[in-house]
Amino acid sequence: MDYAAAIRDRLPAAWRGSDFSSLLSDLETYLSPADIEGVVAAYEFSAKAHEGQQRLSGEAYISHPVAVAKILAGLHLDAGSIKAALLHDVVEDTPATLHDIEVEFGDDVALLVDGVSKLDRLRFDSALEAQAESFRKMLLAMVKDLRVILVKLADRTHNMRTIDALSSAKRRAIAKETLDIYAPIANRLGIYGIKTELEDLGFKTFAPFRYRVLERAVRKARGGRQQFLNKLQTNISRNLATNGIEARMMAREKHLYSIYSKMRRKKIPLSDIADFNGLRIIVGDIDTCYRVLGLIHQLYKPMPGRFKDYIAIPRVNGYQSLHTTLFGPNGVPLEVQIRTEDMDRLAERGIAAHWQYKAVDKHTYSAEARAREWLTGLIEMQEAANSEEFLETVKVDLFPDKVYVFTPKGDIMRLPSGATAVDFAYAVHTDVGNRCVAAKIDGRLVPLKSALSNGDTVEILTARGAKPNPNWVNFVTTAKARNAIRAYLKNLTRDEARTLGRRLLEQALRPFDLSNRKLRKRWIEKVLHELGENELDRVYEQLGLGERLAPVVAALLAQQQGGDQDQAKRERKPLEIAGTEGLVVGYARCCNPIPGDEIIGFLSSGLGVVIHRTSCPNVADFRKHPTKWIPVDWQRGIKGEFQSEIQVRTMNRVGLLAEVAGRISATKSNIDHVNVETDGDASTLQFRLKVRDRGHLAQVLRSIRTNPDVLKVQRLTG
């Protein structure tokens, strides 16, 4: 480590003996000199950016990022994490930008800093436990790289250590968030060192009085037992030695928050808590763990029901150890944990153990690959146990299938990933979905089909009388939204079908010199009876959907009048198409009729009327069913956009497609689809586009034709 020492010597005198130089000493034990150089550069950058800034405690601001980095160095995290820790507040709190960090330190560090900054913007202030769980999942889902969470946990740990500088209201809020969100995450990721510290600091800050009382009581109880415990420890130690077992032993004091939680959970007084003293025995291998267990059970009687084998069945976060509680001398209970060195390291560092510096791994494994490896390992270990809880919570960042967003009130909503603003609206309430007209994400207007991201605050704007758009079905991802839109459209179609059916009947009645208005109630009742229906609206609906034929119904009604049946042979007046009939009038894909074309309508059962051009080859085929044809015509001054297809034969030249497309756009026609086929010197381009009518289409064709490299332009017919 001469090289590292050289770096240290090079440091400005002011840094010697500082927190940063102590961080460097930690890093020297596991990072390469080149990595340490990078860390020094990150420190210099951060110190400069934060220059002149102070923490509330009055210390120079840089002391905070250095302390955060030191916590991570304690977990032996890689250089990228250490650099990100040093830079984690730079983007939020100084003029330096993310881009600057990317240029100086590369993508890896920039992504980590960005991830931490994003988490910093989230605030949790709900009192509901279910909301806390969602918020934890949201945090995990937001990070693409779990190192972001590790930096954030270290950040929170240092902020909790120095929380005294804040006002008491702020202290309480932060302490609560720490207990509700961050300590459980540290626990989930198996980082017990941080979890324990966050819990005790959170407890001390959130409930200072209870903390002090409990602390005093526990100290007193412990003092009384110390002598027995020492004796017991010596006994065990001697016994292991005689049996030739090498072991490391540590006396443990159960931390206050876990004693407090246990008292609350089990509703018992402190005097009933047996095991606030403990002993940890660390040995070389798993075999020895079980041998040690056997030996100490011979020395002291185990408390029934307290033995747990987390080696055979690890906890969901990967924790492994044997736990047993012994009756010591004078009946003083003692919890003993037995584990290997590896298990001990994993217990302290959890997932962090997987980013520990390994020179060989560095380039061959991405952070994701390492996280995945950790995850796979856990799943394998837990095959015997129930891993559902684990999968629900930790996998989210690696295999995201849910997205967590806020309502404007701060409630958290869970949606499948890929969910859009419309899905959100329907998740809030069907009425909100049906009437939504616009959406805001984090206060900015966005298209309704925008996919939501974790942490978004989503607001839906509604309008009275607004209706769902049939196109929404194409992008919503939740069953609730899809079903609600479909149900609405079905009702809508029914209304449209009635309107069309009434018009079809009107048209069919005209040859009899009749109209809907002239129909007598008596006639209608008779005909309804004959048709086996109860109400006229239902018949209109069937007519509109093409399930019944208007001329047949009209003839039945005319019979009631006793009118001249021959009149029925008179020419029927065409039904006028306005383009606003909705889903019950369709335009045939085979010939794409547009206003100005001669057209004919075909009643198709369940679909309503389908419009064809009279020149369409399919029309000849349909002529076999004369009763299903109805004369139709375009309404004068019809507005709207209609689909048409054209084919353009051109020279095969680079850039020509763009030129032709440009000309089409210049005539205000939208292109829906293009297909290009090239054969030798020539190309055939097919465009599906939207036009207003024949005049508009002619204009489009003309403007394409003026290009000298265009050989032929034509409209496609069926």
Residue 28 binds Mn ion (CB under 5 A) = no
Whole-number Å distance between alpha carbons of 488 and 500:
18
Q: Which is nearer to Mn ion, 160 or 509 (CB)?
A: 160
**Number of residues lying near Mn ion (CB under 5 A):** 2
Nearest approach in angstroms of CB 93 to Mn ion is: 8
Return left, alpha or beta for 280; rule: phi > 0 is left, psi -120 to 50 is alpha, else beta.
beta
Q: Which is nearer to Mn ion, 117 or 337 (CB)?
A: 117
Cα-Cα end-to-end distance for the chain? 81
Q: Considering only 153-161, 318-326, 494-502, 615-623, which stretch makes contact with Mn ion by CB under 5 A?
A: 153-161
Nearest approach in angstroms of CB 14 to Mn ion is: 23
Q: Which is nearer to Mn ion, 120 or 659 (CB)?
A: 120
- Region 426-485 residues binding Mn ion, contact defined as CB under 5 A: none
15: Cβ contacts below 8 Å, ≥ 6 apart? 21
Closest-approach residue to Mn ion (CB): 155
Nearest approach in angstroms of CB 24 to Mn ion is: 20
- Per-residue tokens: 664: 């089409």
Q: Which is nearer to Mn ion, 80 or 328 (CB)?
A: 80
Per DSSP, what are the bridge partners of residue 404? 414
- Region 223-252 residues binding Mn ion, contact defined as CB under 5 A: none
Nearest approach in angstroms of CB 120 to Mn ion is: 7
Whole-number Å distance between alpha carbons of 441 and 447:
10
Q: Which is nearer to Mn ion, 113 or 489 (CB)?
A: 113
Q: Which is nearer to Mn ion, 92 or 392 (CB)?
A: 92
- Region 83-112 residues binding Mn ion, contact defined as CB under 5 A: 89
Q: Which is nearer to Mn ion, 93 or 547 (CB)?
A: 93
Nearest approach in angstroms of CB 686 to Mn ion is: 59
Tell me if residue 92 is catalytic. Answer: yes
Q: Which is nearer to Mn ion, 62 or 140 (CB)?
A: 62
Whole-number Å distance between alpha carbons of 288 and 24:
37
Pattern of binders to Mn ion over 687-706, x per CB under 5 A? --------------------
- Per CB under 5 A, the list member of 35, 78, 108, 155 interacting with Mn ion is 155
Nearest to 512 by CA among 576, 575, 556: 556
Whole-number Å distance between alpha carbons of 26 and 368:
26
Structural contact between residues 284 and 314, judged by C-beta atoms closer than 8 angstroms: no
Nearest to 43 by CA among 5, 78, 9, 82: 82
Tell me if residue 93 is catalytic. Answer: yes
* DSSP symbol at 454: T
Q: Which amino acid is at 581?
A: E
Nearest to 603 by CA among 543, 528, 685, 557: 543
The alpha helices in 429-478, defined as continuous H runs, are 430-434
Q: Which is nearer to Mn ion, 55 or 144 (CB)?
A: 55
Enumerate long-range contacts of 635-641, CB under 8 Å, 24 or more apart: 635/576, 635/577, 635/578, 635/579, 638/577, 638/578, 638/579, 638/595, 638/693, 639/579, 639/692, 640/579, 640/580, 640/692, 641/670, 641/690, 641/691, 641/692
Q: Considering only 46-54, 155-163, 215-223, 632-640, which stretch makes contact with Mn ion by CB under 5 A?
A: 155-163
Rounded to 5°, angle at Cα 427 from 422 and 431:
75
Count H helices and E strands in the chain, helices first. 28, 20
SS3 content of the chain, % helix, strand, coil (to 5): 55, 15, 30
Whole-number Å distance between alpha carbons of 304 and 36:
52
Structural contact between residues 86 and 65, judged by C-beta atoms closer than 8 angstroms: yes
* DSSP symbol at 179: I
Strands 608-613, 585-587: pairing is: parallel
- Per-residue tokens: 617: 């080859």
Which residue of the set 51, 92, 341, 535 is catalytic?
92
Which residue of the set 93, 102, 309, 659 is catalytic?
93
Chain residues in the site for Mn ion (CB under 5 A): 89, 155
The catalytic residues are 92-93
